[in-house]
Amino acid sequence: MVAVVDYKLPGLSGIDLCRTVRQDDDLFGVKLILFTGDEDPGIRKEALQAGADDVVLKSPEASVVIEAVLKLLEKK
């Protein structure tokens, strides 16, 4: 399973959600993609440290997200 998580969620950040998912043994194996419009490399680094498997910059091209999801699904 792959979850695409927006960086700016109401009440918490997508990075916080990644940390929460990684601490839950029942969610082991879920692949996480942080979806953000912020190009700050610090956000990418923090997201990966929090357990995101990939970080995708928001783009008008849906194919960018689809390709990231397919890539993670193939890594089983």
CA pair distance 63, 56, nearest whole angstrom? 11
User: In this model, does residue 2 exceed pLDDT 80?
Assistant: yes
pLDDT score at 18: 96
pTM equals: 0.82
Q: What does the CA dihedral 5, 28, 50, 12 come to, rounded to 10 degrees?
A: 50
Q: What is the pLDDT of residues 7-32, one digit of tens each?
A: 998 899 999 999 999 999 999 999 99
CA pair distance 5, 44, nearest whole angstrom? 13
Q: Map out the domains of the chain with their CATH numbers.
A: 2-74 (3.40.50.2300)
Q: What is the pLDDT of residues 41-73, one digit of tens each?
A: 999 999 999 999 999 998 767 788 788 888 888
pLDDT score at 76: 60
